[in-house]
């Protein structure tokens, strides 16, 4: 099929149509509001300069003009086309001063609400007083003409036009934790101290990496790409067998020595398929890439690029506003076992905070130490919750390290009552603080080092102190 000089293959056309319908589904939510508001009169009263920042170029619009739209369309804005996307090609559509799109790129207050001619595809057409609703689009989109203005090759700037759910939420929609900390510095400061933030780092970001006895690696250190862990042990991810694998040896941080255990199946321990999705942020299964090493802000809040560009609360997931079950699913998605729907990954590809985890994760297997009392083996979500509760009960274990539960790298041995006190748990990291002032009044670390609390009084997940 041809549109002018543009040739569209059947596959690409299918993707364009799918995206076209996706956008129009959101547009239908506007119709009721459009009937009751005279956009043209309101825009005229504000004056041309309110939207048009360049008198000589009608295609340049003010950077914040879109806020006029979202002041009314707050609900529809949650579903519609993503805003503030960088447009790299030269298109004849209104863009802001940085060539980013927003509401006024596709909609104009100067368009009549209805037309005697069809304005969108027949599948989504809506009539009002025997006329076709235009949704105030800047140009007719009956055959996708408006969409194709930007998406000639299926891609515009950083946007995947196929609107496939997985690709739509690919790592290109993630902003990275550094973008979050610009507006949330105090939370960012706390997060950077957590085991989550330090879960996956490069050797260059490990202060004592060169102090580790090199002979214990049993592998060229220049091949090591990532270091896993920060609390009890280090494990090492290196290039081998044509991919990234987890090396067999484990380094004990507290005793500063190599453990005698050896993971003999390490050459088949494919990190990208079996581990990475829960150890990094913004994992993209289309090419096994990721945006950020470590468990960043967006692992719990979902992709935040649009939020970082707009500051709109609707563009980010706030776990506090989710139901208790959906909120707990965020933790459970990484802290229980299973495979994704393709069976290729040992983590739930496609799942994002706020989703129903049951749609993305199956194949629950018992963790070391689980028995018939806390593992039913019936693939129920209740059984998955049981595993999460079981693992939480092991966080204070004095023998057998909690990170071993993923693969059981060495024998699990505990009496069941051999647990750390709160002070002992703190000292698993802070064992060499020789400059600590004497005379702790109660002998309790948390007397002075009180975990941060949220406004509701709950202990904040951002704080690296244990949530007692």
Q: Read out DSSP for 18-85?
A: HHHHHHHHHHGGGHHHHHT--HHHHHHHH-GGGTBS-TT-TTEE-TTTHHHHHTT-HHHHTTSPPSS-
- The reply to whether 96 and 190 lie within a common domain is no
User: Which of 6-10, 176-180, 292-296, 329-333 has the least mean pLDDT?
Assistant: 6-10
Rounded to whole angstroms, the Cα distance separating 427 from 437 reads 15
Binned at pLDDT 50, 70 and 90, residue 264 comes out as confident
In a domain, 393, yes or no: no
Higher pLDDT, 162 or 338: 338
In a domain, 326, yes or no: no
| Confidence at residue 345, expressed as pLDDT on a 0 to 100 scale | 95
Rounded to whole angstroms, the Cα distance separating 145 from 189 reads 47
In a domain, 54, yes or no: yes
- The reply to whether 118 and 48 lie within a common domain is yes
- The reply to whether 134 and 245 lie within a common domain is no
- Among residues 416, 382, 411, which one has the least CA distance to residue 396? 416
Q: Please state, rounded to an integer, the average pLDDT across all residues of the chain.
A: 79
| Confidence at residue 417, expressed as pLDDT on a 0 to 100 scale | 54
Binned at pLDDT 50, 70 and 90, residue 370 comes out as confident
- The reply to whether 221 and 173 lie within a common domain is yes
| Confidence at residue 313, expressed as pLDDT on a 0 to 100 scale | 87
Rounded to whole angstroms, the Cα distance separating 422 from 446 reads 8
Residue 89's CB is within 10 A of a number of other CB atoms, namely 13
Q: Are 201 and 294 in contact (CB under 8 A)?
A: yes
| Boundary-marking domain end, from 163, 182, 205 | 163
In a domain, 175, yes or no: yes
| Confidence at residue 359, expressed as pLDDT on a 0 to 100 scale | 92
| Confidence at residue 74, expressed as pLDDT on a 0 to 100 scale | 65
Q: Are 168 and 194 in contact (CB under 8 A)?
A: no
- The reply to whether 65 and 114 lie within a common domain is yes
pLDDT of 162 strictly over 50: no
In a domain, 463, yes or no: no
Range of the domain at 23: 2-163
What does the pLDDT look like over 385-416, one tens digit per residue?
999 998 887 777 766 544 544 444 334 444 45
Both tokens of 378, joined, read: 């019936």
In a domain, 10, yes or no: yes
What does the pLDDT look like over 323-342, one tens digit per residue?
999 999 999 999 999 999 99
User: Which of 135-139, 187-191, 429-433 has the least mean pLDDT?
Assistant: 429-433
Higher pLDDT, 356 or 97: 356
| Confidence at residue 239, expressed as pLDDT on a 0 to 100 scale | 93
| 3-state secondary structure labels for all residues of 405-423 | HCCCCCCCCCCCCCECCHH
In a domain, 137, yes or no: yes
What does the pLDDT look like over 438-467, one tens digit per residue?
766 556 777 788 888 877 777 788 888 765
Higher pLDDT, 425 or 171: 425
In a domain, 413, yes or no: no
What does the pLDDT look like over 295-308, one tens digit per residue?
999 999 999 988 88
Measure CA of the first residue to CA of the last residue in the chain; give whole Å.
63
- The reply to whether 294 and 206 lie within a common domain is yes
| Boundary-marking domain end, from 255, 284, 316 | 316
What does the pLDDT look like over 70-79, one tens digit per residue?
788 765 444 4
Binned at pLDDT 50, 70 and 90, residue 159 comes out as very low
- The reply to whether 78 and 210 lie within a common domain is no
| Confidence at residue 363, expressed as pLDDT on a 0 to 100 scale | 93
- The reply to whether 222 and 79 lie within a common domain is no
- Among residues 417, 423, 336, 415, which one has the least CA distance to residue 379? 336
- The reply to whether 141 and 173 lie within a common domain is no
| Confidence at residue 265, expressed as pLDDT on a 0 to 100 scale | 80
Helices of type H across 217-270: none
Number of folded domains that form the chain? 2
Residues 6-14, mean pLDDT to the nearest whole number: 46
pLDDT of 423 strictly over 60: yes
- The reply to whether 54 and 179 lie within a common domain is no
- The reply to whether 29 and 110 lie within a common domain is yes
Q: Quick one: DSSP state of residue 467?
A: -
236 backbone dihedrals φ, ψ, rounded to 5°? -130, 135
């Amino acid at each position: 099929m041809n549109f002018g000089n543009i040739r569209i293959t059947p596959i690409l056309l299918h993707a364009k149509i799918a995206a076209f319908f996706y956008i129009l589904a959101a547009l239908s939510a506007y119709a009721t509001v459009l009937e009751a508001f005279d956009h043209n009169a309101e825009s005229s009263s504000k004056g041309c300069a309110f939207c048009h920042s360049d008198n000589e170029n009608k295609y340049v619009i003010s950077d914040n003009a879109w806020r006029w739209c979202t002041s009314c369309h707050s609900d529809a804005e949650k579903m519609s086309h993503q805003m503030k996307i960088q447009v790299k090609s030269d298109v004849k559509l209104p863009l802001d001063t940085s060539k980013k799109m927003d509401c006024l790129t596709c909609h104009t207050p100067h368009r009549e609400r209805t037309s005697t001619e069809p304005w969108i595809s027949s599948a989504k057409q809506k009539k009002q007083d025997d006329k076709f609703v235009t949704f105030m689009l800047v140009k007719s989109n009956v055959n996708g003409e408006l969409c194709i203005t930007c998406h000639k090759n299926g891609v515009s700037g950083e946007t995947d036009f196929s609107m496939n759910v997985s690709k739509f939420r690919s790592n290109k929609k993630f902003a990275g934790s550094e973008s979050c900390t610009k507006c949330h510095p105090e939370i960012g400061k706390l997060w950077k101290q957590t085991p989550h933030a330090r879960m996956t780092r490069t050797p260059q970001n490990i202060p004592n990496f060169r102090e580790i006895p090199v002979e214990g690696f049993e592998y060229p250190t220049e091949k090591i790409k990532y270091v896993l862990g920060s609390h009890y042990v280090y494990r090492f991810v290196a290039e081998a067998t044509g991919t990234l694998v987890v090396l067999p040896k484990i380094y004990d941080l507290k005793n500063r020595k190599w453990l005698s255990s050896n993971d003999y199946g390490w050459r088949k321990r494919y990190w990208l398929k079996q581990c990475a999705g829960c150890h990094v942020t913004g994992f993209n299964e289309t090419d096994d890439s990721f945006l950020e090493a470590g468990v960043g802000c967006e692992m719990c809040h979902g992709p935040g690029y649009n939020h970082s560009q707009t500051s709109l609360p609707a563009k980010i997931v706030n776990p506090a506003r989710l139901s208790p079950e959906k909120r707990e699913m965020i933790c459970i998605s990484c802290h229980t076992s299973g495979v994704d729907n393709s069976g290729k990954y040992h983590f739930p590809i496609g799942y994002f905070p706020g989703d129903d985890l049951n749609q993305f994760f199956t194949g629950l297997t018992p963790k070391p130490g689980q028995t018939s009392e806390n593992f039913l083996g019936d693939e129920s979500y209740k059984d998955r919750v049981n595993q999460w509760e079981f693992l939480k009960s092991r966080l204070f274990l004095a023998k057998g390290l909690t990170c071993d539960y993923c693969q059981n790298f060495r024998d699990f041995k505990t009496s069941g009552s051999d647990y750390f006190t709160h002070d002992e748990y703190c000292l698993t990291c802070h064992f060499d603080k020789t400059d600590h002032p004497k005379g702790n009044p109660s002998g309790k670390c948390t007397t002075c080092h009180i975990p941060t609390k949220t406004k509701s009084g709950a202990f904040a997940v951002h704080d690296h102190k244990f949530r007692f």
